[in-house]
């Protein structure tokens, strides 16, 4: 068994003025794009030569890999406006993706900071929702981030290049969970992801449970003193379904399939808990004037997508929807795509 190499940090490397500027603006642009309250980014960038692509440290510092991020930025601005092949654009886009991903980790709600999520991140469900939401929202809004930074003018064609999902064991679960929660609340998947992405790891699950609770008729059916306990029960029911994701094994397609199933199961568990509490609750005046929408929520929901995925997992022949893999366009094998990395003590993207 080979020994794990100690991460090697280096003194700040030479950067073009444009690179210094993009590193200065990266956090403020992420806040503006996301609508989050603020960023916990300290403004300090640590540079490593053998670490992950990037990492969001709990103290607010950001770690970036020199050859895979800093050097790519220098090269991109050195050839500003020039046409590049797809493979070169892939590396440039992956670099900007790293910036947005790590900045998304540091987005924080009012009166909170990134470090407040450190303990929650150590749990399986905490890691799963944090990394899954961060990656899903980042990929959905990467081209907007590129535009706001002006990178689309520097590297023409960069927005048209597709890059893969760095966390196949987490991202599909977050997407499926946000889709279901978005349908139940009327907010839609993107708004659910945006809200969850804008708070630290300790606040994500409570926020999800609050959205589910407030979209139901439980606030009107139950006395106010029971609301917090009820939200906690919904949270625990949902997060239990994502707890095992950190231990999933298999190839990228199998990881993505299992991940999506867990995300769908989290939605259904939340719905089931709401239904159980509704049946156990005391029917008061508010219950007698329940709207048709509340009645619809009470009805058992048959999720055709979950049925499809279950059939596939059990050996069915329903075709699997395309799962993007983090595949580098053909070229130098030394720069081949990496497998999805494991989260370490600090949030990092290998």
CA-CA distance, 220 to 158, in Å (whole number)?
50
And the tokens for 122? 């150590």
pTM metric for this prediction: 0.83
In a domain, 134, yes or no: no
Q: Is 48 helix (H, G, I), strand (E, B) or coil?
A: strand
In which residue are the tokens 């929202």 written? 137
Do the Cβ atoms of 115 and 39 come closer than 8 Å? Answer: no
Between 71-78 and 86-105, two packed helices, what is the crossing angle to 10 degrees? 130
The total domain count for the chain is 1
Q: What is the pLDDT of residue 347?
A: 65
In a domain, 26, yes or no: no
In a domain, 265, yes or no: yes
In a domain, 41, yes or no: no
In a domain, 83, yes or no: no
Do the Cβ atoms of 238 and 270 come closer than 8 Å? Answer: yes
Non-local CB neighbours of 304 within 8 Å, separated by 6+ positions: none
Q: What is the pLDDT of residue 332?
A: 40
And the tokens for 76? 């991109």
Q: What is the pLDDT of residue 7?
A: 83
Block means of pLDDT (10 residues each) for the chain, length 350 residues? 69 97 98 98 97 96 98 98 98 98 98 98 98 98 98 98 95 98 98 98 98 98 96 98 96 96 98 95 41 37 52 40 37 37 51
CA-CA distance, 31 to 19, in Å (whole number)?
19
Largest CA distance in the chain: 70
In a domain, 151, yes or no: no
Q: What is the pLDDT of residue 324?
A: 30
Q: What is the pLDDT of residue 321?
A: 28
Q: What is the pLDDT of residue 350?
A: 63
Do the Cβ atoms of 273 and 232 come closer than 8 Å? Answer: no
In a domain, 294, yes or no: yes
CA-CA distance, 274 to 227, in Å (whole number)?
12
The residue range of the domain holding 288 is 171-313
Do the Cβ atoms of 54 and 344 come closer than 8 Å? Answer: no
Within 216-303, residue ranges assigned H as helices are 218-221, 227-239, 252-280, 285-288, 292-298
In a domain, 329, yes or no: no
């Amino acid at each position: 068994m080979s020994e794990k190499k100690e991460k090697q940090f280096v003194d700040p490397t030479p950067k073009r003025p444009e690179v210094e500027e993009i590193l200065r603006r990266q956090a403020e642009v992420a806040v503006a794009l996301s609508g989050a309250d603020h960023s916990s980014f300290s403004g300090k960038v640590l540079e490593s030569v053998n670490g992950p692509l990037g990492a969001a440290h709990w103290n607010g510092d950001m770690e970036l890999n020199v050859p895979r991020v800093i050097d790519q930025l220098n090269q991109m601005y050195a050839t500003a406006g020039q046409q590049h092949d797809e493979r070169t654009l892939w590396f440039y886009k992956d670099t900007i993706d790293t910036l947005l991903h790590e900045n998304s980790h540091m987005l924080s709600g009012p009166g909170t900071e990134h470090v407040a999520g450190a303990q929650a991140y150590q749990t399986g469900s905490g890691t799963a929702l944090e990394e899954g939401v961060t990656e899903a929202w980042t990929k959905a809004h990467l081209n907007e981030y590129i535009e706001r930074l002006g990178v689309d003018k520097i590297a023409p064609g960069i927005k048209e290049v597709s890059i893969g999902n760095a966390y196949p064991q987490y991202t599909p679960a977050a997407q499926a969970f946000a889709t279901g929660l978005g349908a139940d609340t009327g907010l839609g998947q993107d708004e659910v992801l945006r809200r969850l992405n804008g708070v630290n790891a300790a606040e994500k699950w409570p926020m999800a449970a609050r959205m589910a609770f407030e979209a139901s008729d439980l606030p009107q059916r139950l006395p106010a003193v029971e609301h917090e306990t009820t939200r906690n029960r919904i949270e625990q029911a949902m997060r239990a379904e994502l707890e095992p994701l950190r231990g999933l094994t298999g190839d990228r397609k199998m990881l993505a399939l299992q991940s999506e199933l867990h995300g769908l199961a989290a939605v259904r568990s939340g719905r089931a808990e709401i239904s159980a509490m509704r049946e156990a609750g005391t029917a008061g005046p508010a219950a007698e004037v329940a709207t048709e929408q509340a009645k619809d929520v009470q009805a058992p929901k048959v999720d055709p997508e979950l049925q499809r995925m279950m059939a596939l997992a059990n050996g069915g022949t329903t075709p699997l929807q395309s799962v993007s893999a983090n595949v580098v366009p053909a070229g130098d094998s030394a720069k081949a795509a990496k497998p999805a990395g494991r989260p370490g003590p600090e949030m990092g993207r290998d």
